[in-house]
Structures are given as structure tokens and as C-alpha cells.
Structure 1
Amino acid sequence: MLKLGVDHGPLRIIFTTDEETGMTGAARLNPKYICDAQNIINCDSENLDVICTGSAGSCHTHFTRHIQWENTIHDYAVCIKTHEFIGGHSGETISHGKSNAIQALAETLLAIRKKGIDYRLAAIDGGDAANAIPANSSAVVVCNKKDIDAINSTITSVKEAFYRIYKGIEDKAKWDVEEVAVPVHTFSLKDTEMLINLLCILHCGTFVMNQSLPRLPELSSNIGTIKTTDDIVTFEYFPRAGADDRLSNLLQKLPLFAELTGFSYEQGKQEPAWTVNAVSRLAPLYEKAFEKVTGRKVRKEAVHGGLETGHFYHLNSSADIISIGPNTHDIHSADESVELDSIATMIRVLAETLANIR
């Protein structure tokens, strides 16, 4: 930028840290560096041809239940697995009509219970991350051997209905039932029932779409992980929203679900949303500069994931904000890479934009 000798007005450059894991750099930024800014150009998006104009807020929540272990009263045990679901990022792909392997397993267990089959859980685990739709889950189910045919028949019925619902989306999803050693202890009947109830009650997927941008989710949530340890079973529920008030409205209800099912509830810090600005002056300036430099048109998109711009918007909601970036691949992984030529192009477009801000 300095070598280009860009003619620009007052300019403040801010470098943040820890964006990939906690956004603590943006979250702890002194407000004085943002509160007087009229325009903010964030350079951390992932596609050169896209201007990002909004992002979602989110909040990590945990539901936990202390297990009342009881001596096993049944003579047989199986491990039921739901696996090879599509999975994916719970922000970018939450509106793609996918299933959730953890919730699909819970719904399977609920169907078995509704058939009058007596069983207890001994373990349930699944998912890899709070912000990912789980592709795999498993549960150790302790039952009577005489009921195994009825269990298999029920699972077959669940699968048939599932494939009708998710036809063309989750066609590769699988259920496996394998005999395992009968454990010495199991969850109590109440622990088993309340866990399954809660996993089935909590909505996974999109609640509502944005009314101005019909392809953008406005509110969603996802059960990302579940884990059984020595004394507890706990799972993560991760809601996102395009507006802070909408997210707050959902969060105030979640403790009620915990109370009704005998779970404890823990809520993390609410990360702020960056609400779409329908009358941005900055976005058209960047669009014009992009076309002048590249000869191509740029797309405008809002995302249902979290960006540092949410924190900037929270500090100064009157600022005109856009987010841009070079072409990157395999982000947040060991294979992350960036196209160096796209950085040079972005700099030229940015310089042209700054020269036209008045």
C-alpha cells in the first residue's frame, strides 16, 4: 500500500490476534480505536470475488447431567451407530437440509422406547466440534436379548422414514448395530429417558431465514458434540443468529429445557452479530473499484458464521463495514493456504477504494 502511494484520507490500521481460536484480539480491542471510525474494511474474508456485508453472532452452551449409575438388570448389549452423515460447518451449511447424527441417534432411541422395549444407556458419544454438524455418533444400549429382533425392526423403520425425509441429501447415512459386552453398570431409567427427551426436543438446523436475503439463515442451532465420562454426560448446543436480540431471545429459553429435564446449563459469552447494512456506501465503492481493477463483478454476501467484524459493529454500529480477503483454501486446518496473486489484486482494489472514499 505504501509503495502504491495511495491518495487517502485519515487511515488507521489495526492488527488483531487469535482470530482462528477465540477472536480475543478483536474482543479486547480498546473501543477508542473503533468508536470514531466512519468506515471499516476488514481483510479476513476467504474469497477475492466476494464482499461480506454481515455475519452471525453465536454462543456456546453446555447441557450436563450427573449420571446415577445402577447395576445392570438386562442380559444383552449392543452398540448402535449412526455414521457417514454429511456433516459440515454449522454456519456455512446449516441451511442445506442435512441431518445431525447425534439427534438422529436420539430419535432412533426414542422410537425404540415407543415400541415398549425396555433398555438403558451405558454410554453415548459423538461429534467432533461445537461448530460442526456431527457426522457420527454411537450409544451403548443395554437390553434383553429377546428384544433384539424388535430393536432391529424398529431401526429399519426409522431408516426407511429417514431416507424418505432426506432423499438426495443424506443417502449415504448408515446405522450399524453390533453386539458388545454387557457392562456392569448403566444409566438409570430416568437418566436414559431425560437425555433422549432433551436431545430430541432441542431443534437442530435453521429456525428462520433472513427476510431480506432469503438464502441466508437468520437463526439456527446445532448439537455439535456429546460425551459420556465417569460421572456425567454432557453435550454442546451452539446457536447462531444474524441479530443480537434474536439470539438473546433463544438463549433465555434454553435454561428452561435444562430445568424440565434435570440437566444443568452453562452458557458462554454471547459473541455479537454484525447486522447487514442495506444502505452501505462503502460496498458500492469497493464494487466499482473491483470491476475497474479486475474487469469482473464482485458478489455481495452475508455469512452465517462469526467474524471479527461482529465485535467492531458492537463497538460502533454506525460505522459502514465490509469484509474482504484473498482466495484461501482449507481454512482452520493444517493444509490452509492462500493464493499470493489474489493478495496483490486485493491490495490494488483496496487502494482504488481508499482513493475514492470522501
Structure 2
Amino acid sequence: MAYENLQPKEVFHFFEELCNIPHGSGNLQKISDYLVSFAKDRNLEVIQDSELNVIIKAPGSRGYEDKEPVILQGHMDMVAVKEDSCDIDMLTEGLRCKTDGEYVWAEGTSLGGDDGIAVAYCLALLDSKEIPHPPLEVVITTNEETGMFGASAIDLSSLKGKKMINIDNEEEGAFITSCAGGARVYSDFSFEKENKTGVLYEVKVDGLLGGHSGEMIKCGRGNANHILARTLLNAMDAAEISLVSIEGGVADNAIPSGAVAKVVVPAENVVDFKESVEQTLEEVKGELEVKDPNVNITCTEAGAEDNYSCARFEDGRMIVSAIISLPDGVQAMSAAVEGLVETSLNLGIIKTEDSSVTLEHSVRSSVESSKNMLIKKVATIVTTFGGTYSVSGQYPGWKYRQHSELRDHMVKVYEEMYGKSPRLMAIHAGLECGLLSEKIKGLDCISIGPDMQDIHSTKEKLSVKSAGNVWEYLKAVLK
């Protein structure tokens, strides 16, 4: 066990148990069943619904039986990404956990600290017979990372609590009190196929930092999908290359760090094609020199001169033209909160299947009308270029609560423990608090969590010390 000597031992025990179970979004049966078994083994009331959401209820500890219940909430799914060289099958295998005593991470893959640490905290609390706490209602949702589908579907009518601590924050000492709303936009471009004679090349964009498309979008990091489309369009201006396939990204709410396309290049145009790719790389490197300095674009021969099935040149050009015409990144900053992104979008996924290319965007805004207008802008561009679109996974923003007993209590406990005030903040990322607040009238909630770095990427790390600090703080709040 990689984490067996870390403190708090009980938290990292369960965190590693979770890491041993594959739990990328959409692959949650095993981890959901694990949570149900955990509850049944301890004679706790448990509900598992058709979306695999799990609710576990525990009575208050001795002396706390008649206290008001507290809801603890997180999500069980993770953004499952891995490095190209990593041989783990994230659908069937657990993570290779590593630690240096200061941080924990997973070798070659994302860690899933978002939101595995929340689940670990909850399990450690439910497992303990020593920690004083009021009645607990633990809500662990599914597929948060791909559209908050679990939170949208969950039935919370059996809950009695009106105060909820969401543990889906990545900064210790920062209490999230409101967040943006969002939606997923799916676009599809069909193309006609033809056989073209030429050399098959693979064009690859990699080396980018990636990261969470809510929290990191303000950093201006490169989007591999957009860079690849730009590279291809420039190459199409230099030579009549034909698109075979284009793929990029792993989740619509993760800034894509890599993307790859296969193209057919007429033998007489190979030199022009390569020069165009090199020129695009030079331009992009200059633009991202500070924000994303390790960007790389390569073109590698993937097949000798032959006949290949590919998209008609006109169709392929139309598709990459549509991609680079679509907006990307920050669209507006908040005038009310300094440094807060108000509206953004991220082209997280491109994939090719048979005779169509599909795009998946994550759209976010703290202003509902701006979110809707940005969706309309994407839809207009897509249809103008001959594509079709659909919208799903819409979730509301979480509005700041002027009067909050929970916030007042948590601030007081924090000040008593640390001699300073926590930072109250709004974020551009989406949290489930907005959706769950619609299901429980008058719900009072705050979001907290330990320090994490580069979530949704293979560079993800969780601070051991911070995880311990938040554990002690959470216990003090419940006491």
C-alpha cells in the first residue's frame, strides 16, 4: 500500500481503497456497489438509485442523537486521463498510487482527488466509533464530471438535513459560497468519403498543461483541439490534404492537452505540408511561450503512398474551419468580482466515428443570459458550417446566500482553530450545490476541500498536510 504510513491514516486508507477501483465517469458500477457494501457491513441505512447515486445515513454519536442532521456531499466519479506511455486500462484497473510524504499522486494517470478525497472523508467518518458528530446524511453522486447527471436525477426527499457541506473544492482555507452554471453542447459534422492517393501522416499536438476548464481557463493555456484544427487548416492552404480522422481530449470539462489527426497528403505536396506544420508550431510556441511553453506539434508518416478512404477535401476543410471559428476560453470577466471569470467555454473532446466528427463543449457562466447567448453563438456557427447540435446537462448556478448559519458557524470554527479568517469566494467552476439546492428548499451550503494541483490531468497532486488539516477542521465543525 503506497499510502499506508500517511496521516490521517483512516482517510488515506479509504482513499487508497477507492483508487484501487476503476471509477472514471460512466464506469461507476463497481465503486457504487463498494459504497453500498460499506454501508451494509456497518448496518447503516443506504439507498442506491438507478443512476448509481448512493445515500448513506448514520445516527448521531452519543450525546448528538437529537442534533440537526448535516448533509455531507461529494461525487464518486473522476476524470480518468493517462499519459500516452501509460499501460493502465482505466476501465478495468486501479491506479498506481505514489507518495513522497508531501504529496500523493498516481503514476501515469490522473489521481481522482477530485472528488475521491470527499468520499474518503465521508467513509472515515462513517466508519469511526470515536468521532463525535450529529446525524449524518452522506450524498455521493455520479457522473458529476460529465454533466452532473447524478445530481440532476437524485431523489433527496428522504433527507431531513437543511445544512450541507460540499467537499469538492481544491483550496484549503477558501470557502466557496457560489458558482457558475453550465451546459454541454454536442455538435456533429457529417462528411462524404472518397478514396485519395497519397502518403498517410499523423499530425499530433501534445506537451500542453491541460487542466480543469473552470478553474484553469483563466490561465490561457493552449487547447490542443483548437491548435490541431489550426494546424490542419494551415496545411490545407498549403496543399490539398484530406482528413481521415481527428481525435482529441478526454472530457469536455478538461482543457485538452493532446490531440491527433490522420491525413492523406499527395506525394508531391509532402514538403509543403511539413513546412506548414513547422510554421504553425513556430507561431503557436511564440503565442504560448509563457502560458503553455512545452507545446509541440509533430507530423509522422503513418503509411506509405497508397489509396486511402478519407473525407472529401471540401468536407474536411469545412470541419476544421468550423472548429477554429468557434470561440474558446474566457469570453467575459466579472465586473462585480475582481479576477473572476464570468463566461467561458472549452472544446474538450473531438472524435471521429465512421462519417462524422463530433465536438463536445463545456459552457459556463455565472450570468444565465450570457450562458444561453454563448450556447446560441456556438449553435449558430455550427449550423452555418452545415453541422447539427444538441444541448444537455444544463445545471443552474449556485447563488450567494446573504444569511447563512452554516457559513457563520464554519467561519467561527476556522478562526478559532487558525487565528485567521477563511477566504470566502465565488468560482467559475460548476458545483452540484445549485442543483441540490433546487431539490431541498432552504438548503444552506458551503464547499470546502484540501489543496490539490492540476486536477483532471496526469500531473494531479493532493497535499498530504492539507488533507490532514481539512480532516481536523471537518471534525471540529461537526463537533
Q: In the TM superposition, what is the alpha-carbon distance from 1:175 to its structure 2 partner?
A: 1.1
Q: In the TM superposition, what is the alpha-carbon distance from 1:191 to its structure 2 partner?
A: 1.5
CA distance in structure 1 between the aligned counterparts of 2:150 and 2:312, rounded to whole angstroms:
45
Aligned AA (1:187): A
Q: In the TM superposition, what is the alpha-carbon distance from 1:223 to its structure 2 partner?
A: 1.0
- Larger displacement relative to structure 2 (11-20 or 140-149): 11-20
Q: In the TM superposition, what is the alpha-carbon distance from 1:224 to its structure 2 partner?
A: 1.0
What is the count of residue pairs matched by the alignment? 347
CA distance in structure 2 between the aligned counterparts of 1:94 and 1:330, rounded to whole angstroms:
12
Which residue matches 2:78? none
Paired residues of 1:71 and 1:185 also in contact (CA < 8 A): yes
Residues 231-310 of structure 1 aligned to structure 2 (within 5 Å): 231-277=355-401, 283-310=407-434
Partner SS for 1:254: helix
Partner SS for 2:250: coil
1:16 equivalent in alignment to 2:144: no
Taking only aligned residues, the RMSD between alpha carbons, in angstroms, comes to: 3.3
Which residue matches 2:244? 122
TM-score (normalised: structure 1): 0.83
CA distance in structure 1 between the aligned counterparts of 2:232 and 2:250, rounded to whole angstroms:
21
1:177 equivalent in alignment to 2:264: no
CA distance in structure 2 between the aligned counterparts of 1:162 and 1:188, rounded to whole angstroms:
27
- Larger displacement relative to structure 2 (124-133 or 245-254): 245-254
Paired residues of 1:16 and 1:26 also in contact (CA < 8 A): no
Q: In the TM superposition, what is the alpha-carbon distance from 1:197 to its structure 2 partner?
A: 1.1
Any idea what the Cα deviations from partners look like across 1:119-141, whole Å, max 9, x if unmatched? 21111111122211111111122
Judging changes above 3 Å, is the alpha-carbon distance between structure 1 residues 214 and 259 closer, same or farther for their aligned structure 2 residues?
same
Runs of 4+ residues deviating >6 angstroms: 6-9, 31-34, 327-338
Which residue matches 1:214? 338
Q: In the TM superposition, what is the alpha-carbon distance from 1:62 to its structure 2 partner?
A: 1.4
Which residue matches 2:274? 152
Residues 312-323 of structure 1 aligned to structure 2 (within 5 Å): 312-315=436-439, 320-323=444-447
Paired residues of 1:111 and 1:154 also in contact (CA < 8 A): yes
Which residue matches 2:151? 26
TM-score (normalised: structure 2): 0.64
Judging changes above 3 Å, is the alpha-carbon distance between structure 1 residues 4 and 325 closer, same or farther for their aligned structure 2 residues?
farther
CA distance in structure 2 between the aligned counterparts of 1:16 and 1:40, rounded to whole angstroms:
12
* Aligned-residue identity in percent: 26
Structure 2: runs of 5 or more not aligned: 1-58, 72-136
CA distance in structure 1 between the aligned counterparts of 2:307 and 2:330, rounded to whole angstroms:
38
Judging changes above 3 Å, is the alpha-carbon distance between structure 1 residues 317 and 205 closer, same or farther for their aligned structure 2 residues?
farther
CA distance in structure 1 between the aligned counterparts of 2:314 and 2:350, rounded to whole angstroms:
18
Q: In the TM superposition, what is the alpha-carbon distance from 1:51 to its structure 2 partner?
A: 0.7
- Larger displacement relative to structure 2 (123-132 or 249-258): 249-258
Q: In the TM superposition, what is the alpha-carbon distance from 1:285 to its structure 2 partner?
A: 4.4
Which residue matches 1:354? none
Q: In the TM superposition, what is the alpha-carbon distance from 1:155 to its structure 2 partner?
A: 2.2
Which residue matches 1:355? none
Which residue matches 1:348? 476
Paired residues of 1:330 and 1:336 also in contact (CA < 8 A): no
Paired residues of 1:52 and 1:303 also in contact (CA < 8 A): yes
Judging changes above 3 Å, is the alpha-carbon distance between structure 1 residues 170 and 324 closer, same or farther for their aligned structure 2 residues?
closer
| Higher RCO (C-alpha under 8 Å, 6+ residues apart) | 1
Which residue matches 1:90? 213
Structure 1: runs of 5 or more not aligned: 352-358
- Larger displacement relative to structure 2 (267-276 or 2-11): 2-11
Aligned AA (1:119): I
Paired residues of 2:352 and 2:358 also in contact (CA < 8 A): yes
